[in-house]
Structure 1
Amino acid sequence: MEEYYESPDSSSDDHRRPLLYRSDSCKVEQAPACCSSRYNLALLSCYGFIVAYALRVNLSVAMVDMLDVRTDGNTSSSVCPVQEGRAKRNHTAPVYDWNSETQGWILGSFFYGYIVTQLPGGYLARKHGSKWLLGLGILCTVIFTLLTPLAASLGAPYLIGVRVLEGIGEGVTFPAMHAMWASWAPPLERSRLLTICYSGSQLGTVLALPLSGLICFYLDWTYVFYLFGVVGLLWFLLWSCLVSNTPDTHKTISEKERLYITTSLKNELSTTTSHIPWASIFTSLPVWAIIVPHFCYNWTFYTLLALLPTYMKTILGFSIQQNGMLSALPYLGCWVLALLGSHLADLLRERWLVSTVAVRKIFTLIGMIGPAVFLVAAGYTGCNYVMAVAFLTMSSTLGGLCTSGFSINQLDIAPSYAGILLGISNTFATIPGMVGPVIAKALTSSNTIPQWRMVFYISAVINVVGAAFFTIFGKGKIQPWAVPDTHVQ
């Protein structure tokens, strides 16, 4: 039986149907999901984010193997008894005597480049299209990843410079992808499509951490960058050949699917790319209700992303091959729950008629308060390895629900400017990646459990603040300044 969706006009967050600004006479015939162009885009973009995050996090594991344990007291032993593991093979890759402060700057340097291209990425994607902007951005990251071993051999400043350049290339990914989804994602499928796409960030972390540990163990740390770089080159070839900016320009999309997408979005997208209401955007409280939780969530995410392998080694005493496997568990849980949560979010809106704003707030609350609780609990597990890993895993797992919460709220309040809004939001949300690892490294200079407990407390409090702000000020309807030109008299 064919399904149809219709939506009455509504100016309330509690509208009975999730589709906005559509006349009662407009019915949209739903195109099948299986083998569709929009879901193929979701899967290929997921692969792209796997590459992007693998290239971003592989240094966190490789760093453990790049340090000279004879000169760096922070890496020579662990607080808890060392876990049993096979003896590490002898390798000829060079090691370095970087101190704790230098390590913090190396790990955080990526984000100094990443922050630069957030807002330009959203603007350029809206004006010129997302396909080549995103593709070339990740390609630049791939190229500089392949140059990482050479940069490290030249010295820490060169490595920091290469990581900054990687960040510049990767900074366009989220704004460009959000701008593309504004033309590809039917409103009732947004949670699912965007979660499949962006879950690549968790899946990339899940794959990169254990694989990096195994590569370091069986080969050496230089191959971490060479092998992941080759995988990135393969993605770029597929992206170049198979992706189009819009359904109208896609070569193999079915006419039924093209009509389904364009008809469901025709009254939500602006017909002009020349005017951007900058003043209205920066003075809009619903926009800031996205920026604040995004900043807060990323503080915890980036701190753990950069330093969890270090915690696993210096506190819990896990070997390099164990380290990568266990560090990946939190992100595996996050990936699984993000996918399951997206289906539940769309089901709540589509079948049970729960308002968009209520769904976004519920998922954000659980996805930020839950991690805060388990993160604090992890600080009190001492050398109980099972409980420590379990609590850290639960913390990151619950964070996966935010993918269907504030993370895609830009498409709810201003689909025509979604890429720009994400560029603004991600600019602020990149600051934790710049300063979080540096602050955490400074607080854990002696690598004691109380010091790491303080890092967990700070992250938990910031998470709670973000959840509260979105709950109070978040919205789920298109804002007046973002209403398409067709509705302006």
Structure 2
Amino acid sequence: FSTRAFFFLLPDFCSFRYGLALFLHCCNVLITAQRTCLNLTIVAMVNSTDPHGLTNASTENLQDNTKNPVYNWSPNIQGMILSSIFYGVVFIQIPVGYLSIIYTVKKTIGCALFLSSLLSLLIPPAAEVGEAYIIACRVVQGMAQEIVMIAQCQVWVKWAPPLEQGQLNSICQSGFLLGIFIVLLVTGVICESLGWPMVFYILGASGCALCLLWFVLFYDDPMDHPCISISEKEYITSSLQQQVSSSRQPLPIKAMLKSLPLWAISFSMIAYYCASSTMLFYTPTFINSVLHVTIRENGLLSALPYLFAWIFGILSGQISDFFLTRNIFSIITVRKLFTTLGLLLPATFKTCLPYLTYNFHSALILLILSVAPGSFNFVGSLINALDIAPRYYGFLRAVTSSFGVIGSLAATTLTGLILSQDPEYAWFKVFFSLAATEVIILIFYLIFAKAEIQDWAKEIQETRF
């Protein structure tokens, strides 16, 4: 039976839509690497012996190696450079979500990916000129990367059959996690062997190459693609007949604001973003303060949870769609089940972290379990907007992600304040507050979440009768 099932499923996994999901997976790996690599390269870029230097550009006595120019950036300037990637994100998300409904996804993603890659190539010369230029590059780069992240959600409105949305979305979204793992693992090696500028040059050149492939391989509508098989075209279009149409309707803003299922998704985004961002930014600090390992070991330990998160993300899509295709669970049951796993499991293990840090192996296992299960949200609340309003999915994903970004900024800022003011009990407060947020929002989601297409998201002619 298992052999027959394998050969039955093989044509689907070799289909063009799964190839598209894998290609977007690679795009997400790349833009995540471009976004987060500076967190590590800045260690090599800054003169650690003179952290409060007054000059912006590198000086001759600091340039022991032309491959690694060093700059006298104060800690405040370093903080501004690192956080500048998020400055434009909050303001760009909702406009991009709206424009992704109007303009072609092919041009939107392709141009944004090229812009992000070009700016990655420009960061080393911008740093040579002054910190204001590198901040400007990072602000625009962050906006371009957010355009890629939001616009790709609109791809699955026309390319993902309802029973495969979990698999295709999880393959695509898990690229963000693999990108973090690769950056934490490889960036230090490149800095030591080739110099820190090569990190940006390699990632920028790779992005330009992916951009060219995107314009060649992707079409907005599967019916227009010359390479996809006729049977796959018919399967995709027939499965989406009742879900999406080409007609444009004005956004029902008032109805959206009154929609409790949409608010449930928005709040769940806050919980997911708060937890994931805080763990991403502060896991190296936690490891350093508790386990006292070397920098190289810290990078490896910080990366390991994201390798497991990537694996969990891929598996969650397969399992969720298995439940749906076999009619084991309904769509709303699947969404609530995986959201519960994605919020409750990390919350539980976070509360255990402060008590078991005396043992290296137990701390490592708890770190993995505090991060990796969050990937279950990919087929839970993070894709739920596609169930309740497929025609507005790109816009709604942008709106709900905006809630998440604002929450993550607040959470990371508050975590910094807690760590600076209460060093003795800081980690207890950080992990318990994150866990409490996840549990409270999970309860709200379980009560109000829906999976049926809402009345305000249906065709106008359907709602007239």
TM-score of the two chains, using structure 2 as the length reference: 0.88
> How many Å apart are 1:299 and its aligned residue?
1.0
Instruction: Say if 1:230 and 1:314 are closer, same or farther in 2 by CA, change over 3 A.
Output: farther
- Say yes or no: does 1:345 pair with 2:324: no
- Say yes or no: does 1:140 pair with 2:115: yes
- Letter of the 1:328 partner, please give it: A
Q: Deviations over 1:352-393 (max 9, x none)?
A: 331111111111111111111222322334453333222111
Pick the aligned partner of 1:200 from 150, 171, 175: 175
Q: State the match for 2:5 in structure 1.
A: none
Q: State the match for 1:82 in structure 2.
A: none
TM-score of the two chains, using structure 1 as the length reference: 0.84
Pick the aligned partner of 2:21 from 42, 65, 68: 42
- The more displaced of 222-231 and 327-336 is 222-231
Query: Contact between 1:105 and 1:438, CA under 8 Å: does it hold in 2?
Result: no
Instruction: Say if 1:142 and 1:433 are closer, same or farther in 2 by CA, change over 3 A.
Output: farther
Pick the aligned partner of 1:231 from 195, 198, 206: 206
Query: Contact between 1:117 and 1:168, CA under 8 Å: does it hold in 2?
Result: yes
Instruction: Say if 1:389 and 1:158 are closer, same or farther in 2 by CA, change over 3 A.
Output: farther
1:438-477 aligned within 5 A: 438-445=413-420, 448=423, 450-477=425-452
Q: State the match for 1:56 in structure 2.
A: 35
1:234-383 aligned within 5 A: 234-313=209-288, 315-382=290-357
> How many Å apart are 1:35 and its aligned residue?
2.4
- Say yes or no: does 1:396 pair with 2:371: yes
Query: Contact between 1:294 and 1:466, CA under 8 Å: does it hold in 2?
Result: no
- Say yes or no: does 1:175 pair with 2:150: yes
1:63-142 aligned within 5 A: 63-71=42-50, 93-96=68-71, 98=73, 101-142=76-117
Query: Contact between 1:183 and 1:247, CA under 8 Å: does it hold in 2?
Result: yes
Q: State the match for 2:3 in structure 1.
A: none
Instruction: Say if 1:390 and 1:98 are closer, same or farther in 2 by CA, change over 3 A.
Output: farther
- Letter of the 2:368 partner, please give it: T
Q: Quick one: higher RCO (CA 8 Å, sep 6+), 1 or 2?
A: 1
> How many Å apart are 1:474 and its aligned residue?
0.8
Instruction: Say if 1:107 and 1:376 are closer, same or farther in 2 by CA, change over 3 A.
Output: farther
C-alpha distance in 1 between matches for 2:421 and 2:66? 28
The number of aligned residues is 445
Percent identical across equivalent pairs? Answer: 35
C-alpha distance in 2 between matches for 1:483 and 1:31? 35
C-alpha distance in 1 between matches for 2:375 and 2:153? 18
Partner secondary structure for residue 136 of structure 2: helix
> How many Å apart are 1:203 and its aligned residue?
1.2
- The more displaced of 289-298 and 56-65 is 56-65
Q: State the match for 1:213 in structure 2.
A: 188
Partner secondary structure for residue 255 of structure 2: helix
- Letter of the 1:380 partner, please give it: Y
Query: Contact between 2:270 and 2:408, CA under 8 Å: does it hold in 1?
Result: no
> How many Å apart are 1:31 and its aligned residue?
10
C-alpha distance in 2 between matches for 1:178 and 1:435? 25
- Letter of the 1:53 partner, please give it: T
Query: Contact between 1:268 and 1:484, CA under 8 Å: does it hold in 2?
Result: no
Q: State the match for 2:393 in structure 1.
A: 418
Instruction: Say if 1:439 and 1:71 are closer, same or farther in 2 by CA, change over 3 A.
Output: farther
